[in-house]
Structure 1
Amino acid sequence: MNLSEETKQLRNSLNHLVRIFENRIRDISRISYYGEFIREYRSEGIYEKFKEFFGEGEFKILGIDGSLTQERRIEMLIFYVCAVGFYGKLTIKNSEVKIDVSRAAEEATVNLSTSIPLWLEDISNIDPNFEYILNDFELIKTIDSIPYALMTMSELKLAYDQLNSEEVKVVVLDRMLSGTYGPAARDFRNLVKRNKSVICKIETPYGNPTMLDINLAGYIGPGGIYIPCRDPYLPYFAIKRLIEKMQKGEEKFKKRDLPRILDLNESLTKEALKDILKLNVKYNGILLNDEGEYITLNKDVMNYWNRVWYATEKLLNKIYNSREKHPLTIDEEEWMTTLDLNTINLYILYSIIDKAVKNGKLLIGIVKDTNSTDLMRSMIPYILTNKNELMLPPRFRSDKALLSLISAINYRSIKVPWRTIEYDSFMATIIQEELDEALEAAFKAAREIIGR
């Protein structure tokens, strides 16, 4: 093929791509329902809302970003992870709300970092799945999971530490909270299935954590986390209620009174009790005593979070502050695995949310996933179904591409700044089934477990 033929072929290919893009533009221009999922900025009542939530005065905003890199020298890997926080100013007074981040890079910063050396042969100690790896792609994926878990940990720990400051009222993370929860919760569940964790090796004033403690902490958190009363959360919903009753002085619980105590119907109560008794058997009877007509939670169960959180802080101190031995080893033979690391990340995330809610702090997670498709795949079809408008949304590679074109084409009617509507993270876990003969749309879970 000579140069002129190549040029002609390239021109034809580019023209074809342009026609495809023009067709997409035409599809977008016909969308009349974009107002259903786009909201313009409104300033009405913003001062009163900020004043009610934060109070009046000058406060700090902290934006946190993480970074990681790794080096390989012969058979040794060295991971470097870091999280850096930049301060901005939030001023709420004189009937005005001002946000100033113009000097963020010049102001004092906070940071958290660590470096982790590993022999390649020791990767199997960190990732339990390493021994099943069959190719280089899976090897690289496994290796990358270690610094990523540590970078996530660095960002979350820095956020937790800064939420203790009275001056800091807003913490902005360069990650979605729901997107952080999913992988952490997945690895926590895998850790529970494995039934082994270095967290149990840590001594605390309340005794060593047990796998029951680790399990309860992963589902219930410090106690203020919402737990839905459905599988797989139902038994933990019930245990949380019983712990709350014990904290008020109750000790024994009549089984026939459980529907009232748990505020559940008979069917759900029976299911919850059955699951609780199974948990008790799994953990060798350390959860409760079954006395036939009554059940009694062991009093030591109330300290599940105290044990787990004390151990978590001790392990965090070892990773970031201790200069003795290796950051990821407990002794010569015990290593923190990626399952342990991400379970710790789950506990930190719970603590951050709990602290923010109790102390009137605002925690913001930024969506930066340029490949996100939640809006197109779930949210827009859901909106159209509720409006009885059965049509297919435009097909784009990502929500970002769709929103960019909608904003550009409708620039006269969509004033900046704007945002998409708020929606629960569970929308990311459902998909629309194909329209049936009656032109009725249905939705189903995209995964086995729908997050809370």
Structure 2
Amino acid sequence: MSLATPLTDEAIANNSTIPMWIMTFSEYYLAYKLATEIDGPRIIFLDRSLATSLASLIYDTSRRKLWKSNGSLYGLDVGGVPIDINDLAYGRHHVDNPQLDLPAPRGDYLRYRCWLALERHGPQSLDSLSTLLGITQSDRRRRIERILRKSKLEGFLEELLGTYGLKDRYLGTWTRIKTLINTIGGRMFEEKPKQNPMRVWKNNDWHWLTTQDLAFLTLFTLNLLVEECWRKQILLIGLTKDTAARDLKNHVLPVLSSNKIWSSDITQDDLSRIPNTDRMMLQTLSVFNYESMKVPWSLTEYDSAFLMIVPDFKKQLGFVSGAIRNKITPERLFLKSYIQLSQTDIDPQLRSNVLLLDRLSYPEFDYRLDSTLEFKHVYGNAEETVRPIVFRDKTVTNPIQELVMQTLCAMTSNSIPELFGHNKPLFIADKVAKWHNEEMRRIIDTTGKWLMNNPSLRHFVFYMSTFRERRSEIEGSRRDSF
């Protein structure tokens, strides 16, 4: 999965990526099922970045024009109602938490916030909906009006005497998406299916699930997991061993310094000369300042939205801009930090790798006046407010981070060399997951080789590969023969 580009036509139909998508879906599905148990866990660890996964899945499902043609979820009957484009669009951004003011009523997310407000509060007029969302500016009210009109044309909303409301078929969309996830996930990972679990029955015929379908299923499952963790107060944590993230160095430090929140004489030129990634920068600082940076340590937590927040293009104080097409991802959803857990007894400079940690934010602990910043963002000719969560320094109390650090320190071990400074349960789970992933990959690769070598399919499979792939394979075989 990549943030660089959404899924291409080739990637959607490419069987070689199916094992990776199945494993990703299985991780989130297992976490979701654990969260829904009556006496389930109070803490859930995932061996991946939550914020990056969400952004990647959103992008992988962003090609709306392909939702009908390149997937099998469209038109699939769930609860007697077929899934349509509006159902898929609604589920992509269903992260509903009024206490955290999510989805943020700004930018491209205003559309989904309007839908959720109408679902929660019933039909509303333009004025009453604007009041619910706390929007008073005329330009932003006009944007809401355009959203309502467009949603009506798309068949998602209906209008009666100046009030807009969700059509009856969409009032149960999220419930049907839950049913979809439980049905397909249960068949793939919990039951012994009577037929191939990668096929679904639609329009009186069997249809194969594509990578686009698996991306949607994974995204819906992640949203369900987040919702369940909020509802049950489950601590959701993602740990990443190797990361090339640079948002601390390139976004957080410049934004907070330029807005006089952090005092620093370091310029962007200075930052460009230090180690390239945030992880390497912090590891270098830790090694050369081992006497003052006592292990274990953690960076103060900051909002994952800083992945897309940069200093204002016009250099206005109190303003920020979006990194790509001036867009900023939803804030107050995940919080990020970097941690280092272990060092050797004989050499205090010999330390474990710095890990990237991100976790779900919780309104009762994280969304406070002393932990929230406020910036202005000009988007679409409208001035909007961005409120990321940032624990400015160690004097701002952060009980969740203290709990996380105590827990992680208790769950590491120096007795296994490759586990040094990492999480033991995640290490074991990773080993098991990789074994299953390899087994699935072998099954798919074996099937592919059988098809490629089947004499009756010779003429068909000849055109399954591109000219370059076929040429490369032949040239490689020729080189190997000498």
TM-score range, shorter chain: 0.5 to 0.7
Superimposed CA distance per residue, residues 117-159 of structure 1 (whole angstroms, 9 cap, x where no aligned partner): xxxxxxxxxx761199xxxxxx9xx555432221111111111
Distance of aligned partners of 1:216 and 1:255 in 2 relative to their CA distance in 1, 3 Å threshold: same
**Is 1:198 matched with 2:72?**
yes
TM-score (norm 1): 0.61
Q: What SS is found at the alignment partner of 2:248?
A: helix
Superimposed CA distance per residue, residues 207-247 of structure 1 (whole angstroms, 9 cap, x where no aligned partner): 2332212211112246768211122111211121111112x
Q: Distance in 2 between matches of 1:143 and 1:209?
A: 24
Question: Which residue in 1 is equivalent to 2:88?
Answer: 214
- Give 1:361 shift: 1.0
Q: What SS is found at the alignment partner of 2:105?
A: coil
Question: Which residue in 2 is equivalent to 1:181?
Answer: 54
Superimposed CA distance per residue, residues 329-373 of structure 1 (whole angstroms, 9 cap, x where no aligned partner): 225652212111111111111111111111121110113333222
**Is 1:446 matched with 2:323?**
yes
In the TM superposition, 1:384-403 aligns within 5 A as: 384-385=257-258, 386=260, 387=263, 389-391=265-267, 392-393=270-271, 394-403=273-282
2:152 equivalent among 280, 283, 299: 280
Question: Which residue in 2 is equivalent to 1:260?
Answer: 131
- Give 1:193 shift: 5.4
Tell whether the 8 Å contact from 2:244 to 2:279 is kept in structure 1 after alignment.
yes
When structure 1 is superposed on structure 2, of 232-241 and 213-222 the one drifting more is 213-222
Q: Distance in 2 between matches of 1:153 and 1:376?
A: 31
Tell whether the 8 Å contact from 1:173 to 1:366 is kept in structure 2 after alignment.
yes
Question: Which residue in 2 is equivalent to 1:67?
Answer: none
TM-score (norm 2): 0.57
Q: Distance in 2 between matches of 1:146 and 1:375?
A: 33
**Is 1:130 matched with 2:130?**
no
Tell whether the 8 Å contact from 1:199 to 1:311 is kept in structure 2 after alignment.
no
Matched letter for residue 258 of structure 1: L
Matched letter for residue 274 of structure 1: R
Question: Which residue in 2 is equivalent to 1:319?
Answer: 188
Question: Which residue in 2 is equivalent to 1:329?
Answer: 199
Distance of aligned partners of 1:319 and 1:369 in 2 relative to their CA distance in 1, 3 Å threshold: same
In the TM superposition, 1:358-397 aligns within 5 A as: 358-385=231-258, 386=260, 387=263, 389-391=265-267, 392-393=270-271, 394-397=273-276
Matched letter for residue 410 of structure 1: N
Q: Which structure has the bigger radius of gyration?
A: 1
Distance of aligned partners of 1:238 and 1:440 in 2 relative to their CA distance in 1, 3 Å threshold: closer
- Give 1:174 shift: 0.6
**Is 1:162 matched with 2:34?**
yes
When structure 1 is superposed on structure 2, of 441-450 and 351-360 the one drifting more is 441-450
Distance of aligned partners of 1:280 and 1:193 in 2 relative to their CA distance in 1, 3 Å threshold: farther
Tell whether the 8 Å contact from 1:288 to 1:296 is kept in structure 2 after alignment.
yes
Question: Which residue in 1 is equivalent to 2:111?
Answer: 235
Distance of aligned partners of 1:221 and 1:406 in 2 relative to their CA distance in 1, 3 Å threshold: closer
More strand per residue: 1
Question: Which residue in 1 is equivalent to 2:351?
Answer: none
**Is 1:308 matched with 2:177?**
yes
Count of residues in Structure 1 that have an aligned counterpart in Structure 2: 308
Q: Distance in 2 between matches of 1:213 and 1:396?
A: 45
Distance of aligned partners of 1:255 and 1:380 in 2 relative to their CA distance in 1, 3 Å threshold: closer
1:269 equivalent among 132, 135, 141: 141
Superimposed CA distance per residue, residues 399-439 of structure 1 (whole angstroms, 9 cap, x where no aligned partner): 222111111111111111001121111112244689x9x99
2:162 equivalent among 288, 293, 297: 293
Distance of aligned partners of 1:426 and 1:223 in 2 relative to their CA distance in 1, 3 Å threshold: closer
Higher RCO (C-alpha 8 Å, min separation 6): 1
Distance of aligned partners of 1:242 and 1:410 in 2 relative to their CA distance in 1, 3 Å threshold: same
Q: What SS is found at the alignment partner of 2:20?
A: helix
Q: Distance in 2 between matches of 1:335 and 1:234?
A: 34
Q: Distance in 2 between matches of 1:360 and 1:382?
A: 32
Point out where structure 2 has 5 or more consecutive residues left out of the alignment: 1-6, 331-482
1:422 equivalent among 283, 301, 325: 301
- Give 1:382 shift: 2.8
Q: What SS is found at the alignment partner of 2:73?
A: helix
Q: Distance in 2 between matches of 1:311 and 1:440?
A: 47
Distance of aligned partners of 1:202 and 1:426 in 2 relative to their CA distance in 1, 3 Å threshold: same
- Give 1:258 shift: 3.3
